[in-house]
Amino acid sequence: MAPSKPTYTKVSQKRIVSRVRKAARKSTRTLGAGLTRLYTDPTLAGIHFFYQDDKGVPIALVKQTTGGKTLQPTVLQENTFDACKWKIVKKPRYYGGAWPPTSADDLGTPAKEEHCYVCGENNAPFECDYPTWVAVMRNFWINKICISLTPDKGYATFARTGLKKRTVLGELIGELITKSMCTSDDEAYYAEIYMGEWRRIKGELTPHQPKCTIDTKHESSWLRFTNHSCNANAEFVVGRVGMCRRVLYVITTEPIAKGEEITIDYGTDYFNPGDTCRCGAKDCRYPPESDAESRANLDVDTMDDDQIEADPSAQVGFEATKPIFISDSQPDNELPDNDSEYFP
C-alpha cells in the first residue's frame, strides 16, 4: 500500500503574521519558528516579503511603486531560469559549455581555482552541498536579519544580532537573463555574474569570461532590499558552493552591531549624471547639493597621492581573509589572517 501524502490546511501569509504577532506579545521565543513558517509553509502559493519592527516581528507586506505599478516581490531560494528566453540568444564569445543552456546548472561549472566560500578550499575534492547551504542561509536570514521601513530610504536591512567581519550574509538571487533581455527602466534591479566554464589558454584561466544578469525586480532574496552606501559595511563577492554552483554572495567588511543597517557600495555605474545619494556618509561621493556646499566650506587636511598607501584588498578578485560560513552547529568565529585569492 502506497504511503499517503501529507495533508495541509491552506493558510495565507497574513494569517500566519497575525498568529506570529499575537504570540510575540507574550514572548519572542517562538518568533524564529513563526518566521520560518511564514517563508517556507508548503501550502502557500506565493511567498512575499514582510517588513518588520526592531524586534523582528512582521508588520505588513513589502510594497513598492515602480513605473506607476505596485510591486510585491516574492521570496526565492535560488536563481530561476526560463529556457525559452535563452533559445534565441546567440552563444557568447568565450563561453565554455553546451548552448543554448536548458537550466541554471547548464550555465557552467565553476573552475577549481575559484574558492568555495563554504569550506574556503580550492584544488581539493568538494563535498559542499548547495541545497543544504540554501537552507542554512535561509535560517540565518530569518533569525539574524530584519527588513524595515525607514522614513528616508524606504526599505532597508538591519542586523538583529551582532555580526563579525567576514561573515557571509547570503546570496543575491533572481531570474538569470542575458543583457539583451534587460531594459533601461529596470537597471536598478540588475546585478552581473560570470557564466560558463572558465576558458583556458595554455593551461591558464583567461580573463575573458561572459556574464549573465541577475534580475531581482520581481523575485529575489532579502539582499534585494540592502541599500547603497559610499561607506558600506558589506560587499559583493563572486565565488562558488562546492563544484556545483557559482554564486554572487554578500560578505561583511567590518563588524556590524545589533540594530545597525547593512549596506553595500553599488559602484559608480549605478549613479547617472545629476543623481544624488542619500547614504549620509561623511565621504559620500554624490551628496545632495546642500551637503556638498557645506562640505566645500570646511577646512580639511588632504593627503597627497604619495602619502596614500595602496590597499591590496581593494584589488579586483582579491580578499584579505577567507569568509566566515555560518551554520547551526558552527558559531560565528574569526578566521586566520592568512590571505586567500578569489578568482571572479
pLDDT tens by residue, 280-318: 898 898 888 755 444 444 333 333 333 323 333 332 232
Name the CA radius of gyration of the chain, rounded.
Answer: 22
Per DSSP, what are the bridge partners of residue 227? 263
- Kindly tell me the sign of the dihedral angle through the C-alpha atoms of 156, 159, 163, 168: negative
Q: What is the average pLDDT across 129-154?
A: 92
- Strand-strand pairing, 200-201 and 204-205: antiparallel
What was the pLDDT predicted at 327? 35
The closest of 177, 156, 318, 312 to 237, measured between CA atoms, is: 318
Long-range contacts at 88-92 (CB < 8 A, ≥ 24 apart): 89/178, 89/180, 92/196, 92/210
Buried b (16+ CB within 10 A) or exposed e, 244-262: bbbbbbbbbbeebeeeebb
301 DSSP 8-state letter = -
Run of H or E including 195: none
Which tens digit of pLDDT belongs to each residue from 190-236? 999 988 877 777 767 666 788 999 999 999 999 999 999 999 999 99
What one-letter code names the amino acid at 94? Y
What was the pLDDT predicted at 120? 62
- Identify which has the larger pLDDT, 79 or 272: 79
Maximum separation of any 2 CA atoms in the chain, in Å: 83
Residue 66: pLDDT band (50, 70, 90) is: confident
- Kindly tell me the sign of the dihedral angle through the C-alpha atoms of 285, 281, 73, 247: positive
Strand, helix or coil for residue 172: coil
* Residue 267 · residue 188 · CB < 8 Å: no
pLDDT at 34 over 90: yes
Residue 248 grid coordinates: 554572487
The closest of 234, 300, 222, 221 to 263, measured between CA atoms, is: 234
Judge residue 55's burial from the number of C-beta atoms within 10 Å of its C-beta, 0-12 exposed, 13-18 middle, 19 or more buried: exposed
Architecture, CATH, for domain 77-299+311-341:
Beta Complex (2.170)
Alpha carbon dihedral 72, 149, 324, 114, in 10-degree steps, equals: 40
pLDDT at 328 over 80: no
Per DSSP, what are the bridge partners of residue 154? 150
- Strand-strand pairing, 245-252 and 168-171: antiparallel
Report domain extents, the chain. Answer: 11-76, 77-299+311-341
pLDDT at 101 over 60: yes
The answer for residues whose C-beta is within 8 angstroms of residue 37's C-beta and 6 or more apart is 16
The answer for residues whose C-beta is within 8 angstroms of residue 226's C-beta and 6 or more apart is 156, 157, 234, 250, 262, 263, 264
